[in-house]
Structure 1
Amino acid sequence: MACSYKRRVDARAYKHYTEDTLKTAVNQIVSKKISLRKASRHFGIPTGTLSNRLNKKHNIKPGHPPVFTDEEGKSFVKHLQVVGEWGFPFDNFDIRIFVKNYLASKGKKVPQFVNNCSSTEWAVLFFKRYKDQLTYRTCQNIKRSSCSIS
């Protein structure tokens, strides 16, 4: 399952307007200053889009809802930071096992996760989502000769 889609060069263009112009057009239609069709022509917004916005259709976010809430994600980040300070850095596999144990302790079953264990893709996207707070580092072992010098 691919997460980052690349748009084809020859694909048709969508949304030639900004969110501000859409809000302005809807406000003028609601205040009866301009009709729906005139607003469509004036602002360059399709009539269907204006109609849907006026009738409050399609107002939910597309895509699957997130598995964890923002608070849970932030608590995961805080836990990873504390464990990293202790000298036990987590990698993708460790965060997946941590999440599986968290779900088991809460008694939660996530149908998207096989055996209630998140995928590697989920772990990569988790680190990407919190990249300003988490960094991925690999440890380097030091030789015994360097260790004994101190």
Structure 2
Amino acid sequence: MYKIPRRTILNKLKNYHFKEPGLPPASTVEEENSFSECIQHMSDFGFPLDEFYLRVIVRSYLNLIGRQVKIFKRNLPGHEWLLGFMKRHPELSVRFAANIKRTRAAINEQTLRDFVRNLGEIVKDVPQRIFGTLMNQI
């Protein structure tokens, strides 16, 4: 009735087709979780990342560890990868950054030192290669 070959049905019944459809992910679950945590920490400290910078950070990380992903042009993840990443990490969201007043944006040396010290404490559990890549981009 549906013109499905008999062999296809038998293979499905014998569970020969156990792989998920589509391409395998470009990074491991641990790497993606580290990216997600890093994005959240950066946002908590007032440095939200937009979509482009997230893609650049992932490219820098891939280049740093020497991994070439063939489906990425020049090892830069595309918009489709970003959509999948956001779907796999629903705790992240895309928002527009609001401007802040000059008095709130005013910063002195001690505030900056405290920020760097606090950031070091928070990201001590993030793998060094990801944090180092992120800090090189800033």
Q: State TM-score, norm by structure 1.
A: 0.58
1:120 to 2:79 alignment: yes
Q: Which residue of 2 aligns with 1:102?
A: 61
Residues 57/95 of structure 1: CA separation in 2 closer, same or farther (3 Å cut): same
Residues 63/121 of structure 1: CA separation in 2 closer, same or farther (3 Å cut): closer
Residues 143/56 of structure 1: CA separation in 2 closer, same or farther (3 Å cut): closer
1:83 to 2:42 alignment: yes
Q: Deviations over 1:60-106 (max 9, x none)?
A: 22211111111111111011111111111011101001101110111
- 1:84–1:90 Cα contact (<8 Å) kept: yes
Partners of 1:47 and 1:121 in 2: CA distance: 35
SS at match of 1:51: helix
Q: CA deviation at 1:56?
A: 3.5
SS at match of 2:72: coil
Q: Which residue of 2 aligns with 1:135?
A: 93
- 1:110–1:116 Cα contact (<8 Å) kept: yes
AA matched with 1:84: S
SS at match of 1:60: coil
Q: CA deviation at 1:114?
A: 0.6
Structure number with greater Rg is 1
- Structure 2: state its 5+ residue gaps: 105-138
Q: Which residue of 2 aligns with 1:64?
A: 23
Partners of 1:120 and 1:104 in 2: CA distance: 19
Q: State TM-score, norm by structure 2.
A: 0.63
- 1:113–1:119 Cα contact (<8 Å) kept: yes
SS at match of 1:64: coil
Between stretches 57-66 and 102-111, larger displacement belongs to 57-66
SS at match of 1:72: helix
The aligned length equals 102
Percent identity between matched residues is: 38
Partners of 2:15 and 2:101 in 1: CA distance: 65
